[in-house]
Amino acid sequence: MQQDQFYIDLGLSENQYSKEVIAGQQVYTSSFLRFYDLIVLHIISRWLWRCPPQNMVDLYNKYLSGNHLDIGVGTGYLLQKAKFPVEKPTISVMDLNPNSLIESKRRLAGIAGQLNAYRANILEPIHTKEKFDSIGMSFLFHCVPGAIRKKASTAFQNLLKIRKPEGVIFGATGLHDLGQTHLLSRRGMKNLNKKGVFHNTEDTLPDLEAALKENFKDYELYVIGAIAFFAGKKAK
């Protein structure tokens, strides 16, 4: 590991799959992140995906621990709005994009008792010294290339190795099949996939559930609009 000014780089493999993963997050420039919450959460999520951001905050309120890792953290909005079960939690943020790590660390500095940042790819083994009681990843899988059953299962296997045995892995993602039932979400997903921001044309609710079943004895899965919410608890 190499310590940078503001994050620990866990290393990335030089292969085509990793290049596609990296390309999918390059839209998150420092200038775009200034408008991320408004555009992505309050406009796109509410009107295209038919899922107001309070639904994601509610998920975090249910599963957050005092020792939490958030992956694909965006601006840190959900962590900033959610209620932690302790006054000064240990918060770790993980992303491929340094801009997201900078912004989320800035916004969460007043909340966390301890704040860590990592750059890593969830489709590759993740080596952190810490293990976590909760791991969140909202609006992440639909930006990762590949079919949901494979990419979610690979991510779950990697994350279970850094999750404490009684912890939880949870998140939300836009699914292609759910988006086809509404004109705005259908057009939105088509456009975002064409631009390479989304990679969810092979993402369906049955395949996400299959990935959960492959890795967890106990899980939760429900749908709001075009968004699937999930939580994996006891591992197999």
DSSP annotation string for 75-144 = TSHHHHHS--SSSS-EEEEEES-HHHHHHHHHHHTTT-SEEEEEE--TTS----S--EEEEEEES-GGGS
> Is residue 2 within a helix (H) or strand (E), and if so which, with residue range?
strand 2-3
**pLDDT score at 16:** 47
* Token pair for 165: 């045995």
**pLDDT score at 90:** 98
pTM comes to 0.93
The CATH-assigned architecture of domain 9-235 is 3-Layer(aba) Sandwich (3.40)
**pLDDT score at 15:** 54
State the angle between helix axes of 205-215 and 148-160 in degrees (0 to 180), rounded to the nearest 10. Answer: 30
CA atoms within 13 A on the CB side of 225: 22
14: which DSSP letter?
Answer: -
Residue stretches of the chain with pLDDT short of 70: 1-5, 12-26
**pLDDT score at 13:** 67
Domain range annotation of the chain: 9-235
Q: Contact, 185 vs 225, CB < 8 A? A: yes
Q: Contact, 221 vs 230, CB < 8 A? A: yes
Q: What is the pLDDT of residues 157-213, one digit of tens each?
A: 999 999 999 999 999 999 999 999 999 999 999 999 998 889 999 999 999 999 999
Q: Contact, 153 vs 215, CB < 8 A? A: yes
